[in-house]
Amino acid sequence: MPIETVTLDALDGVRLQADLVRVEAARGSAVVAHPHPMYGGDRFNPIVDTVFRRLPEAGFNVVRFDFRGVNASEGEHDNGDAERLDVAAAIELLEFADPDAPIWLVGYSFGSLVSLNVVDPRVAGWIAIAPPLAAGNGRCLAASDHRRKLLFVADHDQFSPPSAAEPIVADWQSTETRIVESADHFLGGRIGVVVEDVVDYLDAEPPTR
């Protein structure tokens, strides 16, 4: 799996370090966003890395990146606001790499909240892994969007267990919530199961763009 290390240019001029994998005759593309940088999150997080390596095997182009202020990426952490520009820059790269491939946003933890607040028209849908909904600021722009959303909520999540997450998403449009049994926020021992569910979900109903 050839991995290209590339630079993303956000609209505000911040330059970000990223990794890109392109596949022949791709079924789609995916942006993978990492967990909170203030708690050690970066693009090499084990969950992000597993998603990043598995999706090309399933026929998807994929890009992962370091949010602003992380590792070699320029800029400063902005509590998820300016980070939306980072996700948008990754979308731009994937559209340039393969204009015909529908683009999914796949985020883990903090990365899922940022992604759920990017409602770019080029996005086919969202997959949020352990989104800390109860710990967030309550804003999720994708909540009222008609496009598909899949949320994985760990049954023992320390930050947003099912009892807290389910009332928040109850009125969201086109949203499916799956409980990850015997797991906490960090999905120890369950990462592979979740990633295979992600692949199965994308296989079940390929989106059109």
- At residue 136, the pLDDT reads 79
Across the range 182-189, mean pLDDT stands at 97
Residue 206 reports pLDDT greater than 80: no
Residue 110 reports pLDDT greater than 60: yes
Structure tokens at 204: 């079940």
Structure tokens at 34: 């990492």
- pLDDT tens-digit series, residues 34-52: 999 999 999 999 999 999 9
Domains of the chain: 4-203 (3.40.50.1820)
Q: Is the dihedral of CA 209, 175, 77, 189 positive or negative?
A: negative
- pLDDT tens-digit series, residues 119-173: 999 999 999 999 999 987 778 999 999 999 999 999 999 999 999 999 999 999 9
Q: Which helix (H) or strand (E) holds 113?
A: helix 110-115
Residue 108 reports pLDDT greater than 60: yes
Rounded to the nearest integer, the mean pLDDT of the chain is 96
DSSP state of 6: E
Q: Which helix (H) or strand (E) holds 180?
A: strand 175-180
Backbone angles phi, psi at 19, to 5 degrees: -120, 140
